[in-house]
């Protein structure tokens, strides 16, 4: 059975994640398949819009399938990861810049690579089960797939908070922070997808009132600190143990780099700028960061006890985010 079900359905191009047993984790092959379908439908007059959804109730897409990247990096082959991230980011940019509407139906877990697919669609629909997060600092990586762009453009200090703590947010906060657009009860999704395919018109999308957003009233002022150490000190002063716990647990290098990425993204002119900067870190991740150890602890051995060892100094953060020279991402003639 195909991991991505790709077909045309009347006026719609349809992309359906089909790995429910793996929480629809996104593999390199799936990213390439999404990108190829979007290129094929771009100038197809029969396709008026694209619908992205997923099989299974537990997840739209729980993140990237990074097992191959981990095993290759462990063996000293860093090209597998670089190729995966580069192709994935090109696909993320294509979704964001697509000339036709893309409607994403994001139930359950929407994390990491799932945000890179659904979070850049033109019409982003969430329901009651939606749980969105950028959890990369817990595995020694950074919020990538354009996550730094979304975090950087979230209101107030929500971006720093979500990026550093890897906190999960429900539908109300997803809309408030700019990770989604519209709340519709999931029971209504099949009929809406049917209407979209039949009409090819996004005007049939009728949102319901947004659920409560807890971040709208949360005091996130400590996350305005200049450095991670400043943020931790402010949280300690405020007695915010809930936020302190992940900051003490996650990779120090990843935390410092994430803070830099989120703040740099605020000055970017486009998603492409943020993706290019993210690639500078992820291209070096298997060789020069805590990524392999984080994946080992969280996903391979599952002992949940990572032994962080990467240099988290400002100089090393700068080096991890320095341009890649000839290995900078290329954007396929702007398409």
Q: Which three-class secondary structure state does DSSP give residue 154?
A: coil
What pLDDT score was predicted for residue 333?
Answer: 61
Q: What are the helix (H) ranges across 46-134?
A: 67-74, 79-97, 113-118
CA–CA separation, 313 and 152 (whole Å): 22
Arithmetic mean of pLDDT, 159-170: 98
Which backbone phi and psi does 76 adopt, to 5 degrees? 90, 5
Question: Each residue of 150-159: b (16+ CB within 10 Å) or e?
Answer: bbbbbebbbb
First to last CA, the chain: 30
Arithmetic mean of pLDDT, 96-121: 98
What pLDDT score was predicted for residue 335?
Answer: 42
Task: Report yes or no on whether pTM surpasses 0.75.
Answer: yes
CA–CA separation, 258 and 161 (whole Å): 10
Yes or no: say if 124 and 105 are a contact pair by the CB < 8 Å rule: no
- How many CA atoms, within 13 angstroms, populate the side-chain half-sphere of residue 128? 4
* Mean pLDDT, the chain, integer: 96
The pLDDT tens digits for 316-329 are 999 999 999 999 99
CA–CA separation, 334 and 329 (whole Å): 12
- Would the pLDDT of 332 be above 90? no
Cα 86 to its chain centre, rounded Å, is: 14
Taken in order of first residue, the domains within the chain and their CATH numbers are: 4-334 (3.90.226.10)
Yes or no: say if 119 and 179 are a contact pair by the CB < 8 Å rule: yes
Which of 215, 107, 213 lies closest to 162 in space, CA to CA?
A: 215
Arithmetic mean of pLDDT, 128-139: 97
Which backbone phi and psi does 209 adopt, to 5 degrees? -55, 140
The residue whose two tokens read 């950074």 is 142
CA–CA separation, 9 and 37 (whole Å): 13
- Would the pLDDT of 334 be above 70? no
């Amino acid at each position: 059975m195909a991991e991505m079900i790709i077909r045309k359905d009347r006026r719609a191009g349809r992309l359906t994640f089909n790995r429910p047993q793996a929480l629809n984790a996104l593999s390199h092959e799936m990213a390439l398949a999404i990108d190829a379908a979007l290129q094929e439908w771009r100038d197809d007059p029969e396709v008026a819009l694209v619908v992205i959804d997923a099989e299974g109730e537990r997840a739209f897409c729980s993140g990237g399938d990074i097992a191959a990247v981990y095993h290759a990096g462990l063996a000293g082959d860093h090209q597998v990861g670089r190729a995966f991230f580069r192709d994935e980011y090109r696909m993320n940019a294509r979704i964001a810049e697509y000339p036709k509407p893309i409607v994403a139906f994001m139930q359950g877990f929407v994390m990491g690579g799932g945000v890179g697919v659904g979070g850049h669609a033109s019409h982003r629909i969430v329901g009651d089960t939606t749980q969105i997060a950028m959890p990369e600092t817990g595995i020694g990586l950074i919020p990538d797939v354009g996550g730094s762009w979304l975090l950087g453009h979230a209101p107030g200090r929500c971006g720093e908070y979500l990026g550093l703590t890897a906190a999960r947010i429900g539908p109300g906060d997803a809309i408030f922070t700019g990770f989604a657009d519209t709340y519709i009860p999931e029971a209504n999704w099949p009929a809406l997808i049917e209407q979209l395919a039949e009409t090819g018109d996004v005007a049939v999308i009728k949102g319901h009132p947004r659920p409560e957003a807890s971040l709208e009233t949360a005091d996130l002022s400590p996350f305005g600190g200049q450095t991670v150490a400043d943020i931790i000190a402010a949280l300690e002063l405020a007695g915010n143990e809930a936020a302190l716990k992940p900051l003490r647990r996650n990779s120090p290098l990843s935390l410092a780099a994430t803070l830099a990425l989120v703040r740099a993204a605020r000055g970017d002119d486009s998603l492409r700028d943020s993706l290019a900067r993210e690639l500078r870190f992820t291209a070096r991740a298997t060789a020069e960061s805590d990524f392999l150890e984080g994946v080992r602890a969280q996903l391979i051995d599952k002992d949940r006890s990572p032994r962080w060892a990467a240099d988290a100094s400002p100089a090393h953060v700068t080096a991890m985010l320095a341009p890649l020279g000839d290995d900078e991402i290329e954007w396929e003639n702007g398409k």
